């Protein structure tokens, strides 16, 4: 009886774990590019992060996920993690991007301004090029985009919000 209960609880707990897909299939051996996340640290407990969270519809590891993991159990101290990944080059990719204000402790978000912009950017990465997810937030204008690092050229479309991109209380 106890053994069955332990197994059932283990399955239940493990089913809540989110898995992420690799950014490049294991069998792929063609040209690659690099896609990095970015952020702006405002204080020891607050930052705006701009990340790639999906690649061709699959959830991928990112700086926001890693920052949440690194900050767990540290109270009001936010530990931001710089993150990037290799991606397939030479073919169209659909990148789910998100920019969001994050805090060390989730309760801080309830009484603070949280901005968020997200969507999908499509582009064809050039072999050996490096790209970065960038963004900006303000009360009047917010945006998230991907740019080629060397030239600072925006690739694909820029996801823009004219007006406020603040999340409501229940959206935080």
**Does residue 126 lie within any of the structural domains?**
yes
Q: Which two tokens stand for residue 105?
A: 């402790």
> In total, how many domains does the chain have?
1
What's the CA gap between 116 and 172, in Å, rounded?
9
Sign, CA dihedral 164-101-131-31, equals negative
Quote the domain boundaries for residue 95. 28-171
Confirm whether 10 is domain-assigned.
no
Nearest to 52 by CA among 139, 128, 130: 130
Residue 119 inside a domain? The answer is yes
Residue 14 lies in a domain: no
Q: What are phi and psi of 64, to 5 degrees?
A: -70, -45
Query: Is 86 inside a domain boundary?
Result: yes
**Per-residue pLDDT, 7:** 46
pLDDT at 19: 87
Q: Residue 139 contacts by C-beta under 8 Å, 6 or more apart in sequence?
A: 164, 166
At residue 154, the pLDDT reads: 99
Q: Is residue 50 part of a domain?
A: yes
pLDDT along the chain (172 residues), means of 10: 47 57 91 98 98 98 97 94 97 98 94 97 99 98 98 98 95 90
From start to end of the chain, where are the E strands? 32-36, 38-41, 46-55, 58-59, 84-88, 93-103, 116-123, 130-136, 141-148, 154-162
């Amino acid at each position: 009886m106890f053994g069955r209960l332990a197994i059932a609880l283990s399955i239940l707990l493990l089913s809540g774990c989110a898995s992420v897909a690799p950014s490049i299939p294991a069998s792929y051996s063609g040209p690659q590019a690099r896609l990095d996340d970015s952020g702006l640290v405002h204080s020891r407990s607050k930052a705006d992060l701009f990340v790639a969270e999906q690649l061709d519809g699959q959830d991928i590891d990112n700086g926001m996920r890693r920052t949440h993991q690194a900050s767990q159990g540290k109270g009001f101290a936010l530990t931001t993690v710089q993150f990037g990944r290799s991606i397939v080059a030479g073919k169209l990719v659909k990148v789910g991007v998100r920019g969001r204000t994050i805090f060390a402790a989730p309760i801080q978000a309830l009484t603070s301004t949280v901005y968020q912009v997200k969507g999908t950017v499509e582009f064809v990465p050039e072999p050996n090029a490096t790209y970065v997810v960038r963004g900006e937030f303000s009360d009047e204008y917010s945006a998230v985009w991907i740019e080629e690092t060397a030239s600072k050229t925006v690739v694909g479309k820029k996801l823009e919000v004219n007006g406020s991109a603040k999340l409501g209380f229940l959206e935080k």
